[in-house]
Chains A and B, each alone.
Chain A
Amino acid sequence: MAAAADLGDAVVTLPEGSALLALFGHFLLLSLLSIGGAITVAPDMHRWMVVEQQLLSDPQFTSSIAIAQAAPGPNVLFVALLGYQAAGLLGAAATLLGIMLPSVTLALLVNRWGHTRQDWRSVRAFKVGMAPITLALIAATGWLLAAPPSEWRSLLATAVAALLVWRTRLHLLWMIAAGALLGLLGWI
């Protein structure tokens, strides 16, 4: 870190090694809990980064998810944005490597462990049992990202988007664009 520290004022806030390690460690832990995707552990990322550690503000957290959803590619990249906004490029590397390493290793091991065990009752019980839990975690993420009840127009936009995703096959990009436009015009 000495070389980076020499840059002095060029670095706004230099994250300490221990802070990066804490980021990495927390996301390592969340990785193995992220059944259904990284978005299911977003509530815990919010609790830890925004509420407890105060590494990020609420708008920074929400914008990370919005940018990753608006951009092409897997939505898990919002994790890199959280790390980037908290601690720069090293932070992005810490969070993204943390969230990916355990799940990647496990996916490769389980894939090779064989498809024959798909019929085992323990495997099926896992799938059946985890389904409602995964669902609730996704809903909780949406809940935490939605605006407080006082901002009713924003909540209305959230509700309409939820209905459109649920009931239509409208391209998600159109909805994101409409949200940006409504926000731009000051209606949300």
Chain B
Amino acid sequence: MHSDDPSPLARPASCTELFTAFTGLALQGFGGVLAVAQRVLCDDKRWLSKGEFLEALALAQVLPGPNVCNLSLMVGDRYFGTRGAFAALAGMMAAPLLIVLAATMLYAQFATHPLVAGALRGMGAIAAGMIIGTALKLAAPLRSSPLGLPTLAALATACFVAVALLRWPLVWVLPALGLLACALAWRRLRTSETPS
């Protein structure tokens, strides 16, 4: 038992409930679904303990694909197998997809209007800042990385220069730098692993 979750966990009754729950949390998630997902899945629905949520999220983050989509797949899969996985994923994506497509169609109608063009330009500037801010936020936990600050900085700088400044294709940059980074991490973990 998890001491932080005294009452027993619940489980979704059906794939329909999975679908509606994920639709509900996705529609609340303006600018980021993760915080909403934690509150709904752990606190409101009680389908996962906080520990289980973190465990699923850790795996979702190392896998390719959107973290929250991977998370929804894992939660759905846990209760109803493949059907549940797709019910949860569909809930996460269906209604928001209709909303963004409708917004884009409106944008196409009014894009030439100077006020709309100005608003979109302003939103674009903010969106760029939000992404850079997210990168800054994610940098904090790296201080405890076994790689050490110089190696971390060198890897991140090399990747940034290759992709943002030199515009090299990711299909070459990611495997090359990724393999190097993982090999370095593997060595550091071996030297730091002393049986206690």
Footprint of A on B, CB under 8 Å? 26-33, 55, 58-70, 73-74, 77, 82, 85, 89, 92-93, 95-97, 99-101, 103-104, 107-108, 111, 115, 117-139, 142, 145-147, 152-153, 155-160, 163-164, 167, 169-171, 174, 177-178, 181-186, 188-190, 193
The interface residues of chain B lying within 8 Å CB-to-CB of A65 are 124, 127
Closest chain-A Cβ to B114's Cβ sits at a distance in Å of 8
Assembly CA distance A66 to B118 (angstroms): 13
With A44-B170, A129-B182, A144-B164: A107-B65 Cβ-Cβ less than 8 Å = yes
Footprint of B on A, CB under 8 Å? 29-39, 41, 43-44, 47-48, 51, 59, 62-78, 80-81, 84-85, 89, 92, 96, 99-100, 102-104, 106-108, 110-112, 115, 118, 121-147, 154-155, 157-166, 171-173, 175-176, 178-188
The interface residues of chain A lying within 8 Å CB-to-CB of B96 are 71-74, 77
Q: Is the CB of A84 within 8 A of B104?
A: yes
Q: Is the CB of A143 within 8 A of B31?
A: no
Q: Is the CB of A108 within 8 A of B77?
A: yes
The interface residues of chain B lying within 8 Å CB-to-CB of A143 are 128, 132, 160, 164
Q: B175: nearest residue on chain A (CB-CB)? A: A33
Q: Which 3 A-B pairs have the closest CB atoms?
A: A183-B122, A73-B96, A161-B129
Q: Which of B69, B101, B118 contacts A81 (CB 8 A)?
A: B101
Q: Which of B99, B130, B152, B181 contacts A73 (CB 8 A)?
A: B99
Q: A82: nearest residue on chain B (CB-CB)? A: B104
Q: Is the CB of B30 within 8 A of A172?
A: yes
The interface residues of chain B lying within 8 Å CB-to-CB of A74 are 26, 29, 33, 66, 68-69, 92-93, 96
Q: Which of B30, B65, B152 contacts A173 (CB 8 A)?
A: B30
Q: Which of B111, B156, B167, B171 contacts A33 (CB 8 A)?
A: B171
Q: Is the CB of A140 within 8 A of B29?
A: no
Q: Is the CB of B131 within 8 A of A130?
A: no
Q: B55: nearest residue on chain A (CB-CB)? A: A115
